[in-house]
Every structure is written in structure tokens, then in C-alpha cells.
Structure 1
């Protein structure tokens, strides 16, 4: 499978990507190689680490788009090969293992925040430590790895970086929102309702506050760096309080 993916996608993308960014500093290249990435075209890897706040012609967004798909295929393949779960269970684990939170956790483990290239204001706002930025850059690095080294090598790299969550409990428990939905139905309550009650911070470091309520039971609020994450945390807190 890996060879077929390399051939098909490699032909579609082609070797010339027309990059014009400056090179990496030596410390960043050494860090990438220590983390398991094989670096050749330094401008590609600089692109993967560049935040939009710099104003440079290329930032990590396109590579993030590609890396997200490489990650999803790798994790789906791994779950299929190593277990006998049904489609629903595999989908549940897949969603958790490729989530922004899990990607950000992997990024923190290898020290991505120390090498993010971003504008002064964004850095002062702490964007280099946000789940959204770290998760996006982790995916961008995987996209760069795919372009430079092909699918097979990137697949192995992902399996190495994701070893703990793959072998642990990530995604094995029911998602908090699903658990709350089933709890409400099982107790003959109306479905839970989610409402964004507050949004704060600059565009690159937004904080969302979400309220979840169940009619004639109660309500709980939670805050996170993304609307979906805030909903998840609110559902979790609701179940802890009322479930």
C-alpha cells in the first residue's frame, strides 16, 4: 500500500515546488533531524515552521492540509492492521488520535514551540504555545516529510511519534459529547444544547467559552482554544457533575 501511495501521489505533485524561503538556522535543522525528520530542502521545512503572522510569502497552511491527510491515512491503516475493532470503534479512535489536541501534544513532546517562526506580536501573545498552532505545525511537518521522503518513511515516523497514544487509551473511551447525548436519551431528557457564550483573544489565539445545557437538569461552561474542544470539555464537565 505504501509504495502505491508514493507512486500515485508523487507523480501528481511533481518535484518542482518553487520555494523561495531562506534556509533554516543550524539549531533548527539539528533539532528536526534529532526528532526523526530527514531534511534536504531546508526551505520546505522552514515553510512548515512559519506562522502566517510573519508576512512571508509561504506559511505552514498548505503543508498542514497535506500532512493532515497523511496522518489520517497512516493512523487508519495502523488501526486496521493491529486490531479487530468494528468500523465505529476504529472511527472513534481515529478521530481522537488525529485531533488537534493529540497533534499538539506530539508537537510539545518534540519541542516544536522553540522553533516556530512567527511575528513579534503573535509570539508575545503566546501563539507558539497554543494547541491550534502547535497542532497545525505538527501536521505541516508531516506534510514536509511526505514530500521529501515519501509515504513509507513518513508512516513509520508517525507510528514512532504516536506510539504512546496508539498503545494507550486515547480514543478508547466514548467521546464526551456522545456519552452526554446517550445519557440524555437514556434518562428521557431533551438532547443537550451547546452555545458559544464568549470569544476572546486575537485571531491566532482565540479562546472559546461554550455552555452546554440539558433542559430541567442543569448547565456547565468550559473554555478552550477551539469551539469543538470547548464543547467537548463542557460535555465532560457536565457528565462529571450530573451524570
Structure 2
């Protein structure tokens, strides 16, 4: 089979030309548009998650040969979580080539974090099945890029770090509140405020509450950095 022009352009962006192009087509097919003759990407997603995990585990072990399991685990989790997969998906324009049903398109499916993260894992699996582990490793290490190099500083969950900071100073855990919500129901935007018992606060805006909470916590931590030192 011959891929459409947009999928051929996507091949160029990810750096892999498929010998079995039907694998790529399946990887970008969401369950909302699947049929008995058109398989979706859910099984590929399952496989891709495992391939990504193996490649990331090997990369982290090679990068820091003296790190303990306790040090490696949060770095690993930061690299393989859905948020990171979705970020990579946006970076390579995966949302633009997804095959979605009308309901998903109307509800902003091409921008949904969970959907993008799942599709990214499916693409990894498609490359693995088409070209083997080396091809999948090349894809992952190329497009995860500097994330592997800087993961040690980014691995800690910002909300957890802020809570530990507060508790170390005898304060109650920080509180999070929704300050504003805008946008249509299918693509809301949340503004979240985080406040410490001592009065310091920060706000952040994102398309998901969890992401906004993390960003607000990270912003407040950055403001408190001189005190941390």
C-alpha cells in the first residue's frame, strides 16, 4: 500500500521509512474510527509502552553507571509518563495525522494529552515491528533528545517537592484552588493557584488541572529557590 502525502511527510519527520506502511496507518488510527476491517492502535500502544521502557532503562543505566535503583526510578518515570510521550507527539506533529472519528475531532482529540501519548507509544511499536529494536531505539533517543540528559533535575514531581519543602519548615501541605476556567467544554483551560501556609503563592494555566497544578508548584519552587539554598 502507498501512504498518503501527510503520512509520508510524517515518516520524514520521525526519520523512519516503513517497509510495511500498514503498521504506521494502524498506529495513527484511533478506536473512534476503527472497524472490523480497520484495526485501531490500542494493541500497538501496549507494545510501544514496553519498548519505550526498555530503551529508557538502558539509556539511563548507560548514562549513570553509579546510580542506584532509587535514583533511577524517578528519572525513568519522568521519561516514560504520558505527559512526556504527548510532548514528543506534539513536537513531531503526530496530532496532525491521527485518524479520528467525528466525535473525537469535535472534542479536540488532536490536542488531548492522553490520546497523543497513547498514539506516540503506538508509533514506537510500529517502528519496532517494522525495523526491529535498533530502529525503535533510534527513534526514541532522537526524539526524546535532551530530555534524557536533563532528566535528573526534572524527574522530581514539582507538587511532591513543594510539599516536602513546606513540611521541612513545619508548614501544612500547600493548597491548590481553581482560580478561573475558560474555553469551550471540550477544550477547557484551567488557572490554578497554589498557596503555602506562610502566604507565598503562584498561579499557572494549562489545558488540564493536573498540569496546571504542577506548573504552579514549579513556579512557586523557582521563586523560593534562594531560600532553598
Q: TM-score, normalised by structure 1?
A: 0.72
Give, in angstroms, the shift of residue 183 of structure 1: 0.8
Residue equivalent to 1:75: 56
Asked whether the equivalents of residues 89 and 116 of structure 2 are also in contact (C-alpha less than 8 Å), the reply is yes
Give, in angstroms, the shift of residue 140 of structure 1: 1.0
Residue equivalent to 1:63: 44
Asked whether the equivalents of residues 131 and 225 of structure 1 are also in contact (C-alpha less than 8 Å), the reply is no
The one of 82, 94, 110 aligned to 2:92: 110
User: Any residues of structure 2 matched to 1:60-209 within 5 Å, and which?
Assistant: 60-83=41-64, 84-167=66-149, 169-173=150-154, 174-193=156-175, 201-202=185-186
Q: What is the alpha-carbon distance in structure 1 between the residues aligned to residue 185 and residue 70 of structure 2?
A: 36
For residues 225 and 86 of structure 1, do their structure 2 counterparts lie closer, same or farther at Cα, with a shift above 3 Å needed?
A: farther
Structure 2 unaligned regions, length at least 5: none
Give, in angstroms, the shift of residue 241 of structure 1: 6.1
The one of 213, 216, 221 aligned to 1:231: 213
Asked whether the equivalents of residues 210 and 234 of structure 1 are also in contact (C-alpha less than 8 Å), the reply is yes
Residue equivalent to 1:54: 33
Give, in angstroms, the shift of residue 143 of structure 1: 1.4
Q: What is the alpha-carbon distance in structure 2 between the residues aligned to residue 195 and residue 138 of structure 1?
A: 32
Structure 1 window deviating more from structure 2 (118-127 vs 74-83): it is 118-127
2:100 is paired with a residue of what secondary structure? Answer: coil
Q: What is the alpha-carbon distance in structure 2 between the residues aligned to residue 67 and residue 153 of structure 1?
A: 13
Number of equivalenced pairs: 219
Residue equivalent to 1:40: 19
Asked whether the equivalents of residues 10 and 94 of structure 2 are also in contact (C-alpha less than 8 Å), the reply is no
Q: TM-score, normalised by structure 2?
A: 0.76
Residue equivalent to 1:8: none
Asked whether the equivalents of residues 64 and 140 of structure 1 are also in contact (C-alpha less than 8 Å), the reply is yes
Asked whether the equivalents of residues 124 and 136 of structure 2 are also in contact (C-alpha less than 8 Å), the reply is yes
Q: What is the alpha-carbon distance in structure 2 between the residues aligned to residue 38 and residue 164 of structure 1?
A: 24
Q: What is the alpha-carbon distance in structure 1 between the residues aligned to residue 96 and residue 125 of structure 2?
A: 20
For residues 209 and 101 of structure 1, do their structure 2 counterparts lie closer, same or farther at Cα, with a shift above 3 Å needed?
A: same
Q: What is the alpha-carbon distance in structure 1 between the residues aligned to residue 189 and residue 33 of structure 2?
A: 22
Structure 1 window deviating more from structure 2 (176-185 vs 50-59): it is 50-59
